[in-house]
Amino acid sequence: MMKKFPPIQKILEAYTAIADGHVKLQDGQAAVTSSNEVKTYTVTFKDGIYTSNDNATYWQGYAGYPILAVLLLQGKLPFNQELAQQFKNVNWNQVNQEYKRNYAKAASAVMEDKGIDQDKATAEMNKVADELKNLNITIKRGSLRPPKKLPASK
């Protein structure tokens, strides 16, 4: 079982990653590109052990959105395709900075901005979070350090 759980709003970030086609699932690993397309994270999975080099997983020790996105695509968590589509093209990096990492406020602002039914979205997040709590998986820091922001191209 997991020791630490992510903020529930990270599920929405995973939805955006999937809706935007930022998750490339391969055998035993996945490449997940950030919402602002500046970084690509590596998620590995084998025998119920998931690792990632995103900041949340690496530094905070909970499943960051790249791992959540992989679990959703693997069918280990319930995935609402219709809701995910509503979170297409959200730059979570920017929104989370704007709301100083207050993920609840950030998610609320995005839903308001996009006209998404917050009650429906919250019910879906709770459903996914409940399943996550029952998943028998281990989350570990990836062997790779979190990627640095790429220098701006000239």
Contact 83, 120 (CB under 8 A): yes
Cβ atoms of 150 and 38 within 8 Å: the answer is: yes
Q: What is the pTM of this model?
A: 0.94
* Euclidean distance between CA atoms 90 and 109, whole angstroms: 11
pLDDT digits (tens, 9 = 90+) for 38-95: 999 999 999 999 999 999 999 999 999 999 999 999 999 999 999 999 999 999 999 9
